[in-house]
Structures are given as C-alpha cells and as structure tokens.
C-alpha cells in the first residue's frame, strides 16, 4: 500500500467525531421531551406544578436509561463490538 492521494476526500479524517455525540444528544432531548409531554397529558387530575414535576422526572428517566443502562451496559458488550 502506497501513500494516499492528497486530493482524495476521506470523511473520517474531516468529520469531527464529537458531532455524532451532539446529534445523539439532541435527538434524545427531542424524543424525551415529546414523550414526556405526551405521557403527562394523559393524566388529567394533575395540577400545573405536579405536571411540571412529572415531565421533568420522565425527561430525566430517559437520559438515565439511555446513558447509564443502554449506552454503558448494552452497547459496550464485546458481542456488539
């Protein structure tokens, strides 16, 4: 294998890897917020303060499940590498 041609575009070298984490985080924020609002709207007897606490709890649980359980335990297994 010789030297690579300097005029060939190699996406891995030009696309910053941190942007994938940013895209993942923004997608998780959107999905978590929309799901939390949809789930919370199904409870009719909540006051405004309770409604806000439930939305925050559901929103936080999405982050906890995704980053602690799914990303660290499931996606880091040797079988998926």
Asked if residue 5 is part of any domain, the answer here is: no
Asked if residue 47 is part of any domain, the answer here is: yes
Distance CA 59, CA 36 (A): 6
Q: What is the pTM of this model?
A: 0.69
8-state DSSP, 4: P
Asked if residue 33 is part of any domain, the answer here is: yes
Task: State which residues form the domain around 60.
Answer: 17-80
Asked if residue 29 is part of any domain, the answer here is: yes
Distance CA 21, CA 42 (A): 32
pLDDT of residue 78: 45
Asked if residue 4 is part of any domain, the answer here is: no
Report the percent of the chain where pLDDT is more than 90.
43
Task: Report the mean per-residue pLDDT for the chain.
Answer: 81
Asked if residue 8 is part of any domain, the answer here is: no
Q: Is residue 40 within 8 Å of 51, Cβ to Cβ? A: yes
**CA dist list (Å): 16 to 44, 49, 60, 75, 79:** 45, 41, 28, 21, 27
* Mean pLDDT value of segment 34-49: 92
For the chain, the domain total comes to 1
Using pLDDT thresholds of 50, 70 and 90, give the confidence band for residue 14: low
Asked if residue 6 is part of any domain, the answer here is: no
């Amino acid at each position: 294998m010789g030297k690579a041609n300097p005029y060939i575009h190699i996406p891995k070298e030009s696309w910053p890897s941190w942007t994938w984490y940013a895209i993942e985080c923004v997608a998780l924020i959107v999905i978590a917020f929309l799901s939390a609002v949809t789930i919370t709207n199904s409870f009719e007897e909540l006051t405004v303060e309770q409604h806000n606490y439930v939305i925050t709890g559901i929103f936080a649980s999405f982050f906890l499940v995704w980053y602690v359980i799914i990303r660290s335990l499931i996606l880091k297994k040797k079988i998926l590498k």
